[in-house]
């Protein structure tokens, strides 16, 4: 079986193009590593995949729908490099297939071919109409028969399936995303993967002060996200000791802001250690008390790396639509014990200033608490597909 993969955005990257195409090829290899002997390579502005005929197309299709950088892809068939050869092969593979209205769209990658694309379109179109009785429709056909003229042969296909777009994972550097058990943070992590980042995940949990429900959810969410990235690291940070210190020494209304500031400090330290260049959160402006502009900036000030917030301007409804499409929604909405609900005061501060936060933290051993949490962090490595 042969599949042609097309990319849009990465085609625009000029001199960097080979770098992006190499990443795309590598990611396609990884996404299909368990499906058999695949031959994947870039050629003339596309990526070509050759694999055994017994590979389950439905499975392969699903895998390719999750490789960022793919604009669209088609299963293609081969024909000899003559008009008669093409006509014959197209008609043979049309036998028993219902195509509805159709058009032919040829492209000459090899400009030496004596006929122009439009002539190929016309001649093959006429032959298909004659043989099948199907009407030609140039505007909105049910089926488009794509033809590619290459140097040694021709390729044709009857379908063009949409890929996820974006840019290949691994082409934009590494980031560390804060993954809670909620709806937003998995979407935020996914959006950064789509922009080409390799995303590492970090979760803060209060086990054993709370039960393991959040850890279980986060593992499951990480598994879903790993399907888009093939390899994914998940860091689980025991956060209970930090929370206990904050509760013991700081004013109650500031607790949530102080929890968050510690999360960003600890995540920054882990990010340095694992070569991530930025942090990612699922924050969206004004969504909850901890996400007012004042609180966001007071919280963000604790990070020593840039904090990316891909959902900052999105409504909850819009985020929910994405979470459902990503299939994280049903996991995110399972009940859990979220560490931020631990010791939460009745009226959390909605406009904590940096000065207030720093004054409250003066009572704490910041480096010690961060170092202890980092030392107690557990790392898990996820792989998809599992080999």
Q: Under the rule (CB under 5 A), what is the footprint of Mg ion? A: 180, 182
| 180 vs 291, beta carbon nearer Mg ion | 180
Q: How far is the CB of 44 from ligand ATP (least distance, A)?
A: 42
The closest residue (CB) to ligand ATP is 182
In the complex, the residues that contact ligand ATP under the rule CB under 6 A are 178-180, 182-185, 203-204, 263, 281-283, 287-288, 290-291, 339-340
282 binds, among ligand ATP, Mg ion, none (CB under 5 to 8 A by kind): ligand ATP
Neighbouring-strand partners of residue 156 = 77, 147
Q: How far is the CB of 37 from ligand ATP (least distance, A)?
A: 40
179 binds, among Mg ion, ligand ATP, none (CB under 5 to 8 A by kind): ligand ATP
Neighbouring-strand partners of residue 107 = 148
Distance CA 356, CA 361 (A): 9
Q: Tell me the pairing of strands 143-149 and 154-157.
A: antiparallel
163 binds, among ligand ATP, Mg ion, none (CB under 5 to 8 A by kind): none
Q: How far is the CB of 22 from ligand ATP (least distance, A)?
A: 31
| 91 vs 209, beta carbon nearer ligand ATP | 209
Q: How far is the CB of 338 from Mg ion (least distance, A)?
A: 6
Question: Buried b / exposed e across 340-374, counting CB within 10 Å, b at 16+?
Answer: bebbeeeebbeebebebbeebbeebeeeebbebbb
171 binds, among ligand ATP, Mg ion, none (CB under 5 to 8 A by kind): none
Q: How far is the CB of 209 from Mg ion (least distance, A)?
A: 17
10 binds, among ligand ATP, Mg ion, none (CB under 5 to 8 A by kind): none
| 3 vs 246, beta carbon nearer ligand ATP | 246
145 burial (CB, 10 Å; 0-12 / 13-18 / 19+) is buried
Query: Is 280 in a helix, a strand, or coil?
Result: strand
Complete edge-to-edge strand list for the sheet that includes strand 174-178 = 307-308, 279-280, 174-178, 198-205, 231-238, 378-383
| 167 vs 256, beta carbon nearer ligand ATP | 256
User: Which of 162, 166, 164 lies closest to 192, judged by CA?
Assistant: 166
């Amino acid at each position: 079986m042969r599949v042609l993969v097309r990319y849009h955005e990465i085609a625009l990257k000029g001199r960097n193009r080979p770098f992006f195409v190499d990443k795309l090829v590598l990611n396609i290899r990884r996404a299909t590593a368990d499906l058999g002997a695949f031959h994947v390579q870039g050629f003339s502005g596309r990526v070509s995949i050759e694999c055994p005929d017994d590979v389950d197309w439905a499975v392969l299709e699903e895998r390719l729908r999750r490789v960022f950088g793919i604009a669209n892809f088609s299963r293609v068939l081969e024909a000899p490099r003559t008009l008669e050869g093409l006509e014959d092969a197209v008609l043979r593979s049309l036998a028993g297939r219902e195509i509805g209205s159709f058009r032919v769209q040829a492209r000459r990658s090899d400009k030496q071919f004596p006929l122009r694309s439009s002539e190929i379109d016309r001649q093959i179109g006429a032959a298909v109409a004659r043989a099948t009785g199907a009407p030609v429709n140039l505007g909105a056909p049910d089926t488009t028969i794509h033809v590619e003229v290459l140097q040694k042969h021709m390729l044709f296909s009857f379908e063009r399936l949409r890929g996820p777009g974006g840019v290949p994972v691994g082409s934009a550097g590494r980031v560390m995303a804060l993954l809670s058990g909620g709806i937003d943070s998995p979407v935020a992590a996914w959006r950064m993967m789509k922009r080409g980042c390799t995303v590492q995940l970090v979760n803060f949990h209060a086990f054993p002060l709370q039960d393991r429900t959040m850890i279980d959810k986060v593992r499951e969410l990480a598994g879903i996200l790993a399907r888009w990235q093939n390899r994914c690291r998940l860091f689980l940070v025991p956060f209970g000791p930090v929370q206990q210190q904050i509760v013991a020494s700081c004013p109650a209304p500031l607790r949530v802001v102080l929890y968050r500031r510690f999360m960003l400090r600890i995540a920054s330290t882990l990010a340095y250690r694992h070569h991530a260049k930025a942090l990612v959160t699922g924050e969206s402006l004004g969504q909850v008390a901890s996400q007012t502009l004042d609180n966001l900036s007071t919280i963000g000030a604790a990070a020593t790396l840039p904090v990316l917030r891909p959902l900052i301007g999105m409504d909850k409804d819009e985020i929910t639509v994405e979470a459902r499409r990503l299939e994280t929604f049903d996991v995110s909405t399972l009940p859990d014990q979220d560490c931020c609900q631990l010791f939460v005061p009745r009226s959390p501060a909605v406009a904590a200033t940096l000065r207030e936060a720093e004054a409250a933290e003066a009572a704490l051993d910041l480096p010690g608490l961060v170092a202890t949490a980092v030392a107690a962090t557990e790392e898990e490595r996820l792989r998809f597909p599992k080999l």
